[in-house]
Chain A
Amino acid sequence: MSLKHILKIIIKHRNISVMILIQIAIAVTIVGNASFISYGTLKNWLIPSHLDEVEILNVYTKVFDNQVDKSALIQRDLTNLSALGEVTHVTYASNELVLATVTGSNLVYKTIDQEEAGFENAQFDVTSQGVATLSLAITQGRNFYPNEFVFAEASHNRYASVVLISETLAKSLFGEQSALGQTIYLQRARRPYQVVGVYADKMLGEGAVYEQQWYHSTIVPQAHFGNNNVNYLIRVKPGTHDGILKDVEDVLYQQHGRIVERVEFAARAKKRLWDGRSTFAFIMIGISVIAITVTGFGIIGLVSFSVSIRQRDIGILRALGASQHTVLKTLLLENALLAFVGIVLGSFTALWLNNYFVTHLRAQGLVEPWLAVLVALAVWLLSAAAVYIPVRKAAKIAPARVTKTS
Chain B
Amino acid sequence: MLRMKNISKIYRTELVETHALSDVNFMVEEGEFIAVTGPSGSGKTTFLNITGLLENFEQGTYELDGEDVSTLDDKQLSRLRNEKIGFIFQGFNLIGDLNLYDNIEVPLIFRGLSAKARKQRIEESLELVGLGGRASHFPAQLSGGQQQRVAIARALAGKPRFLLADEPTGNLDTLMARQVMELLEEINRQGTTLLMVTHDHELAQRAHRNIQILDGQLRDINKNELVELIS
Contacts and interface: CB of A to CB of B under 8 A. Distances in A.
A157 interface: no
A318 interface: yes
Interface string A295-317: 00000000000000010110111
Contact of A321 (B55, B81, B93, B102): B81
B61 to A, nearest CB: 20
A323 B78 contact: yes
B168 interface: no
Contacts of B98: 5, 8-9
Given A320-B87, A320-B107, A404-B45, A313 B74 contact: no
B82 interface: yes
| Contact size range, B | 20 to 34
B49 A403 contact: yes
Most B Cβ at <10 Å: residue of A1, A319, A399: A319
Contacts of B79: 321, 323
B91 A402 contact: yes
A319 B110 contact: no
Interface in B58-117: 74-75, 77-79, 81-83, 87, 89-98, 102, 105-107, 109-111
Contacts of B93: 312, 315-316, 319, 402-403
Contacts of A313: 95-97
A319 B87 contact: yes
B87 A403 contact: yes
B176 interface: no
A316 B154 CA distance: 12
Contacts of A49: none
A1 B98 CA distance: 11
Given A321-B110, A403-B45, A404-B45, A398 B55 contact: yes
Contact of A326 (B45, B78, B94, B102): B78
B92 to A, nearest CB: 8
Given A1-B109, A8-B102, A325-B74, A319 B95 contact: no
B27 interface: no
A405 B106 contact: no
Contacts of B89: 319, 402-403
Given A323-B78, A403-B54, A13 B97 contact: yes
Nearest to A403: B89
A175 to B, nearest CB: 64
B57 to A, nearest CB: 11
Most B Cβ at <10 Å: residue of A4, A325, A400, A403: A403
Contacts of A319: 52, 54, 81, 87, 89, 93
A273 to B, nearest CB: 59
Given A321-B79, A400-B54, A326 B110 contact: yes
A12 B102 CA distance: 14
A4 B103 CA distance: 12
A2 interface: yes
A402 B90 CA distance: 9
Interface in A320-341: 320-326
Interface residues of A, number: 31
A406 interface: yes
Given A323-B75, A323-B78, A399 B54 contact: yes
Contacts of A402: 89, 91, 93
A77 to B, nearest CB: 85
Contacts of B75: 323-325
A1 B97 CA distance: 12
Interface in A341-400: 398-400
Most A Cβ at <10 Å: residue of B75, B78, B87: B78
Interface string A264-306: 0000000000000000000000000000000000000000000
Most A Cβ at <10 Å: residue of B48, B92, B106: B106
A394 to B, nearest CB: 14
A273 B167 CA distance: 81
A106 B98 CA distance: 69
A1 B111 CA distance: 11
A208 B158 CA distance: 75
Contacts of A326: 78, 110
B106 A317 contact: yes
Contacts of B45: 403-404
A373 to B, nearest CB: 33
Contact of B83 (A321, A399, A400, A404): A321
A81 to B, nearest CB: 83
B78 A321 contact: yes
B221 to A, nearest CB: 24
A2 B110 CA distance: 9
A317 B96 CA distance: 12
Contacts of B102: 4-5, 8
A5 B101 CA distance: 11
B33 to A, nearest CB: 21
Contacts of B52: 319
Contacts of A404: 45, 49, 90
Nearest to B49: A400
Most A Cβ at <10 Å: residue of B83, B92, B93: B93
A319 B151 CA distance: 13
B157 to A, nearest CB: 11
Interface of A: 1-2, 4-5, 8-9, 12-13, 310, 312-313, 315-326, 398-400, 402-406
19 contacts: A1-B109, A5-B109, A9-B97, A12-B97, A313-B96, A315-B93, A316-B95, A319-B87, A319-B93, A320-B87, A321-B81, A321-B107, A321-B111, A323-B75, A323-B77, A324-B75, A398-B54, A403-B87, A406-B90
Given A12-B97, A400-B49, 5 more contacts: A313-B95, A313-B96, A316-B93, A322-B110, A403-B93
